Amino acid sequence: MKFPTLTRLPNNRRFNIEPRYYDPVKEDIEERTSRIKQEISQVRKEGRSDYSSGIAGSFSRRANYTKNANILQMIILISLIVFIGGYLLYGNDIFYIFVLIVPIYFFIRIRKYSKRR
């Protein structure tokens, strides 16, 4: 509770400033998006469709790369499962079988690749 006084006491002054942040990444993104929007509007005015063909090409390349990566991951997974199962069934002999099979597999892959070119 505050007691009444004849004199006026000053209130505490608060330092109230809102900081301005400089975010170079955000500024760069805004600059790029404005430039791209400007280019797209120019393309639409001229009636060209070069942009869409370039975009479609990059997506098809990415899809092809991920398809090859998925196949490679599947081959590695299957070979590990076979290796572990073979080790449990046959013991150390599975090491020698893999030492024979892996070079043959790579030889066939390299031969297929060289025939395509």
- For residue 86, give the amino acid letter: G
Q: How far is CA 24 from CA 29, 83, 103, in A?
A: 9, 51, 51
DSSP designation for 69 = H
Q: 26-35, 36-45, 77-86 — which is least confidently predicted?
A: 36-45
What are the start-end ranges of the H helices in the chain?
A: 24-46, 50-90, 93-116
Q: What is the CA radius of gyration of the chain?
A: 34
The model's pLDDT over 45-69, given as tens digits with 9 standing for 90+, comes to: 766 555 555 566 666 666 666 677 7
The model's pLDDT over 68-98, given as tens digits with 9 standing for 90+, comes to: 777 888 888 998 898 899 889 888 888 888 8
DSSP designation for 91 = T
